[in-house]
Amino acid sequence: MQPSDETSPPPYVLEDQIGFKLRLANQKHLELFSSMMPSLTPTQFATMAKLKEVGELSQNHLGRLVGMDAATTKGVVDRLTKKGMVSITPSETDRRRLLISLSDQGKNAISDLIEQAQAISQKTMANLTKRERERLLELLTKL
């Protein structure tokens, strides 16, 4: 005996799933980011923006604030160092601890990069009203 339609789960439609929709939105955002800020990856930019916001940080703390694991943080910091955007100095109190800060070049570039990032965000959400953009960000924060 088959269950009635009222008790059957709805059919699985890939295009209706949250993960699928988030992936498509992320792909769109990454494409825009890559075309509008080709010199940095999103995680490299996020690292620089967080350093601008809070100042010098340990590599470990920086990674936590930007949502990266230790290995990813090290790679991002190494690449930004090679680009001349950040400086690494050993802590005076604990030589095993590395302190990361924006270099002079990074400090000079960050304001323009933030303007570009704001334009990328605007373009990503261009099809949404102001209220829809605010609500989307609220809901994503809640997730």
The b-or-e profile of 52-89 (16+ CB within 10 A means b, else e) is beeeebebebbbebbebeeeebeebbebbeebebbbee
Nearest alpha carbon to residue 122 among 22, 45, 32, 48: 32
pLDDT digits (tens, 9 = 90+) for 106-137: 999 999 999 999 999 999 999 999 999 999 99
Read off the CATH number of the domain in which 131 is found: 1.10.10.10
Position 110 in a domain:
yes
Question: Full-prediction pTM beyond 0.75?
Answer: yes
Position 32 in a domain:
no
Position 1 in a domain:
no
- Mean pLDDT of the region 34-62: 96
Position 113 in a domain:
yes
Q: What is the domain extent for residue 88?
A: 41-142
Count: domains in the chain = 1
88 phi and psi, to 5 degrees?
A: -120, 130
- pLDDT the model gives residue 2: 54
Range name among 1-5, 44-48, 55-59, 85-89 with the lowest pLDDT average? 1-5
Which residue blocks in the chain are alpha helix, DSSP H?
18-36, 42-54, 59-66, 70-82, 104-124, 130-142
Position 98 in a domain:
yes
